[in-house]
Amino acid sequence: MPVFSLGNGRDFPPAELAGSQGLLAVGGDLSPRRLLHAYGRGIFPWYGEGEPILWWSPDPRFVLFPEGFHAGSSLKKVLRRGIFTMTFDRAFAEVIEGCALPRPDQEGTWITAAMRGAYIRLHRLGYAHSLEAWLGGELAGGIYGVSLGRCFFAESMFHRAGNASKVALAVLAAALRRMDFAIIDCQIPSPHLAGWGARSITRRRYLKLLRSGLRPATLRGDWGEILPPAATKPFA
């Protein structure tokens, strides 16, 4: 399959033109307009330091339906104990910085300085959101992503304390379920996410769900102020 160049302001080709691995286009920029345009068409950026910007739309696509989140017995116990204090959009920059730190089995990170800056701009515009888990007043973990319509595009999560990222995902799924979100886009397969209910669907089905999920208005702004306090309670 061809890989398209986004030079000279060229727009994205249809996501269906990407090969099975998902690489669709190269180049362009990480402006808010470009990023929102990409997510709304089933495309996302993913590249390493020193590489050009690469744009992907894999087939199959890995998604988590909010109502399908599966919390095992051990996670349910942690949730019921209320170990963590949960907040929305209180420490977006710190969450993305935590997600950008290399994992023990990684040499680097795909969340480059340019990527961090791009998503912080989206957050300031009310499109990107974080969910934070606090322990003893310190940030223990969190997750961040982009919201359009009733679709949430999860980008990354991290933890500094055991179970913090698991709790963040559980609370996020519960909040999105209550808000009638259609999908949580997880992009590519992950054994951990599969254990919580995420699964692969065809790109064709994903794009159909995406079009439907984008019809409602985007819940734009500071979710910490917009959402009711019950939004951070997994069993509310």
Q: Do 8 and 68 share a domain, yes or no?
A: no
Partners of 187 in beta bridges: 62
Looking at the structure of the chain, the number of domains it has is 2
Q: Do 116 and 26 share a domain, yes or no?
A: no
**What's the domain range around 28?**
4-59
What is the structure's pLDDT at 2? Answer: 79
d(CA 159, CA 98): 8
Q: Do 228 and 136 share a domain, yes or no?
A: yes
Q: Do 88 and 187 share a domain, yes or no?
A: yes
Helices (H) and strands (E) in the chain, counts: 8, 11
What is the structure's pLDDT at 107? Answer: 57
Write the CATH number for 226. Answer: 3.40.630.70
d(CA 183, CA 120): 23
d(CA 143, CA 172): 9
Paired sense of beta strands 54-56 and 61-64, if any: unpaired
∠ at Cα 182 (176, 184), nearest 5°?
Answer: 65
Q: What is the pTM of this model?
A: 0.95
Write the CATH number for 20. Answer: 3.30.70.3550
What is the structure's pLDDT at 51? Answer: 93
Q: What is the mean pLDDT of each run of 10 residues along the chain (236 residues)?
A: 80 92 95 97 94 96 96 90 96 97 68 96 98 98 98 97 96 96 96 94 98 98 94 81
Q: Do 125 and 49 share a domain, yes or no?
A: no
| Final residue before a domain boundary, out of 59, 91, 106 | 59
